[in-house]
Amino acid sequence: MSDDKGVTEQPSYDLSNFKISEILLNNTRSKTITLLGIFPDLSDEDKAIVVLEKSAFGSDSTEDSVGGYFSQKTSYKAEFINNIYGNFEGLPPKEINKVKITVIYPATEKHIDKYSIRDKHLVLETPILYENVTEPYLKSTQFSLDWVYNILEHKKEKERIVFEDQDPQTGFILIPDLKWDGHSIETLYLLAIVHDRNIKSLRDLTDKHIPLLTNIRDEGLKAIENKYNIKQDQVRVYVHYQPSFYHFHVHFNPLNNDVPGMSCDKSHMLDTIINNITLMPDYYQKATLPFVLHDSALFEKFQEQEMRRVKPRLSCDSN
Ligand code: G7M
Yes or no: domain 118-304 corresponds to CATH 3.30.428.10:
yes
Q: Is 243 annotated as a binding residue?
A: yes
What's the pLDDT at 306? 60
C-alpha distance from residue 42 to each of 21, 48, 275, 300 (Å) = 15, 11, 51, 36
CATH superfamily membership of 15-100: Scavenger mRNA decapping enzyme, N-terminal domain (3.30.200.40)
> How far apart are the CA of 5 and the centre of ligand 1, in A?
18
**Beta carbons within 8 Å of 78's beta carbon, 6+ residues apart:** 86, 87, 88
Q: Whose CA is nearest to atom 25 of ligand 1?
A: 178
Catalytic residue numbers? 249
Q: Is 147 one of the annotated binding-site residues?
A: yes
Ligand 1 atom closest to the CA of 266, numbered from 1? 1
Decide: 318 and 260 in contact? Cβ < 8 Å: no
pLDDT at 310 (0 to 100): 47
User: Is 268 known as a binding-site position?
Assistant: no
Quote the ligand 1 centre to 190 CA distance (angstroms).
9
Question: Which mutation among 154, 244, 266 tests ligand 1's pocket best, with the greatest number of atoms within 8 A of CB?
Answer: 244
For residue 104, the ligand 1 atom closest to its alpha carbon is 17
Which atom of ligand 1 lies at the shortest distance from residue 143's CA? Answer: 17
Sign of CA dihedral 53, 57, 62, 63: positive
pLDDT of res. 117? 74
Residue nearest atom 7 of ligand 1, based on CA coordinates: 177
Burial of 167 (0-12, 13-18, 19+ CB in 10 A): middle
150's CB contacts (< 8 A; 6+ apart) are: 156, 157
* pLDDT in the model for residue 129: 92
- Domain extents in the chain: 15-100, 118-304
Nearest-CA residue for ligand 1 atom 8 is 177
Task: Give me the tens of pLDDT residue by residue for the chain, a chain 319 residues long.
Answer: 344 444 556 889 999 999 999 999 998 888 999 999 999 999 999 999 999 999 888 878 888 888 999 988 899 999 999 899 999 999 999 988 999 999 999 999 989 988 887 788 899 999 999 999 999 998 888 899 999 999 999 999 999 999 999 999 999 999 999 999 888 888 999 999 999 999 999 999 999 999 999 999 999 999 999 999 999 999 999 999 999 999 999 999 999 988 888 999 999 999 999 999 999 999 999 999 999 987 678 888 888 876 554 444 444 444 4
Model pLDDT, residue 1: 37
Ligand 1, CB within 6 Å, residue ranges: 147, 157, 175-179, 191, 240, 243-245, 249
> Which pLDDT value is given to residue 37?
98
**Residue 292 annotated as lining a ligand binding site:** no
Largest Cα–Cα separation, the chain: 66
**Dist CA 27 CA 116 (whole Å):** 11
